[in-house]
Structure 1
């Protein structure tokens, strides 16, 4: 007789995993969560107080940053990245994140490692003020190699219908503010890995800036939901700076006839990007990485002053008449 376990899938391990992560999941619940853990789907009440609400959804992964987490055996922060990549997109359409779901697929379920990942997801959800209301775990021997797994995240937020399209709120003369990134975030890691580990032959525990290299590279993506909620009534538009960098992401919130001037001398570029710039062309750096700017706020001059006085945001440029593009000056 052949069992499912003989084929590489351990149902009991899956059940044990669910029990282990329940405290992490429950810690993200709020008054809008309906029911608990273990049903066929997650349920969430729509918040009250909206005049004409619309739901917005975002999904993402963490790219090949996951490869570094797997190879280094460091799983405590990659879940934060997963949440960040979804909720940071939602707030660019003025959606307040409500709930999050994850998908964890592996060759074989390692309960300890998977629990660390979900713990990180729950931490990210708490920062983003959203509930982790469900997820799925799949063991797929024959699809994934031994020790490998993949992650996907899904988040839903709510916004007023007339606030979703931010381009109509952007005006000539508005100020561009940078909210600092925590590092590389979760984009460009194929280039990162090729540079540090193939070209330069560096090791995870090599000293780099003020920590080990692997700790720098796995620094979790910053979640900007707290800043969004704090300054929502003073923000004209937001741009999440991910793959494509400033030059490709900022134009997504610009109306026709307006462009953005960014002054390079104003940018506070972290050490890791300065180091990589010794080996990578500047144009490639700005098309691949956030260069220290994780989120751009567009605000009127008056509101920009208030935001900079009450956060780590700082001015990097302005909105000008012209082609819908970013000018690096």
Structure 2
């Protein structure tokens, strides 16, 4: 026997790496030392001019959104999802991204699929001024069903120590702006799939009157990044807190940055909830508070701003063509999320 008899093909891996290497190199900048294929990626901070740099890291996956991507054949989109998601996770602490590492596992390595996944990652890395510095591809026969795969990613960024955003300056009277999402982003898909496909009987190819695209197309819109819209404001210390509205929604994420003596009041009438969320709620007969504790409901990032900086922040967002809503305010309390309807 040989490795191929066990279901692992080194020749397929070599074929897949041809396109992968091209995509990875398209993200490189002068901080990268070495080339694709080294045991470890080398990155120097020398050219970045930081005085007291603090590295910020995060790791995440795409979750069961992949099931919809796979059925739709949208293999470039999960790579964008994972990079943008991770970028937002370190942005909320004021960090700019430096480099990204990916992990892709599938039952039988399909070079075209692998190439598409990394094309998507490389696209998002370039858009976020970040290097795709390395990764791991695992062929795992018998572990994943035919056509299935999983991806995860690790991001490393940097922030000046005195620019770290930790929410400590949030106080009663702080205003909260909401920046729109592009849909579900990468959270809540187990509930969305159950409600739409199992309960309501839709398929990813189904069309419904309230959507301008198929249900599958609405569910696979990539998770967006807020880096370009917000990084200058974080560097200028105009923002007192940021919340990436991901898994656990509003109730689970907002308290992570709140001081112990404040609550947040979110006005749920201040923005129009996108149709895809309404469809999920109706299809699964999901309670309203459950929707807000699972999904972003159309708001992907919350920006906490002191009154003295509000005009500057709003002017900056308008200059960046970044839509926003005044969605809430901070009040005295004990780290709770309250809703106004």
Which interval holds the TM-score relative to the shorter structure? over 0.9
Report what 1:269 is aligned to.
Answer: 273
State the match for 1:133 in structure 2: 133
**Residue 120 of structure 1: CA displacement?**
0.6
Local SS of the residue matching 2:24: helix
* Aligned position for 1:297: 303
* Equivalent position of 2:338 in the other structure: 327
What is the TM-score with the length of structure 2 in the denominator?
0.93
**Paired position in structure 1 for 2:256:** 252
1:283 deviation in Å? 1.0
Note the aligned Cα RMSD (angstroms): 1.4
Aligned-pair distance for 1:210? 0.5
DSSP 3-state at the match of 2:121: helix
Q: Equivalent residue for 2:241?
A: 237
Query: What's the TM-score, normalizing by structure 1?
Result: 0.96
- The alignment partner of 1:81 has SS state of helix
The aligned counterpart of 1:197 is: 197
Partners of 1:242 and 1:168 lie apart in 2 by 21
The aligned residue for residue 219 of structure 2 is 217
**Among 312, 331, 334, which residue is 1:306 paired with?**
312
| Contact residue 308 and residue 314 of structure 1 kept, 8 A | no
In structure 1, C-alpha distance between the alignment counterparts of 2:250 and 2:64, rounded to whole Å: 21
CA contact (8 A) 1:54 1:158 kept: yes
Indicate if the aligned counterparts of 1:307 and 1:313 stay in contact, CA closer than 8 A. no
Deviates more, 1:181-190 or 1:65-74: 65-74
Q: Render the CA deviation track for 1:93-128: whole Å, top value 9, x for unaligned.
A: 111110001001111101111111111111111222
Q: What secondary structure is seen at the aligned counterpart in 1 of 2:155?
A: strand
Deviation at 1:166, TM superposition (A): 1.6
Shift of 1:228: 2.0
1:206 counterpart = 2:206: yes
SS of 1:153's equivalent in the other structure is strand
Contact 1:61 1:82 in 2 (8 A): yes
Q: Secondary structure at the match of 1:168?
A: coil
Q: 1:302 to 1:313 in 2, by over 3 A?
A: farther
Mapped partners of 2:18, 2:115: distance in 1: 10
Query: C-alpha deviations, 1:233-273, integer Å up to 9, x for none?
Result: 22111100001111111111111101111111113311111
Q: What CA deviation, in whole Å up to 9, does each residue of 1:190-230 have, x standing for no partner? A: 00110111111112222241111111000000111111223
- Unaligned runs of 5+ residues in structure 1 are none
CA distance in structure 2 between the partners assigned to 1:201 and 1:79 by the alignment: 28
> Aligned-pair distance for 1:19?
1.1
Does residue 227 (structure 1) correspond to residue 229 (structure 2)? The answer is yes
Could you say which residue in structure 2 is the equivalent of 1:13? Answer: 12
Residue 285 of structure 1: aligned partner: 291
Q: Structure 2, unaligned stretches of length 5 or more? A: none
Aligned to 2:35: 36
Q: Could you tell me whether the CA contact under 8 Å between 1:127 and 1:225 is conserved in 2?
A: no
Q: Matches of 2:310 and 2:286 in 1, distance apart?
A: 33
Aligned to 1:115: 115
Alpha-carbon distance, 1:165 to partner: 4.8
Q: Does the aligned pair in 1 maintain the 2:94–2:231 contact within 8 Å? A: no
Q: Distance in 2 between matches of 1:75 and 1:8?
A: 22
In 1: Cα distance, 2:203 partner to 2:144 partner: 25
Q: What's the CA shift for 1:28?
A: 1.1
For 1:124, the equivalent position in structure 2 comes to: 124
Task: Give the C-alpha shift of residue 53 in structure 1.
Answer: 1.4
User: How many residues are paired up?
Assistant: 328
- Secondary structure of the structure 2 residue equivalent to 1:167: coil
Q: Deviations over 1:115-148 (max 9, x none)?
A: 1111111111122211000011111112222221
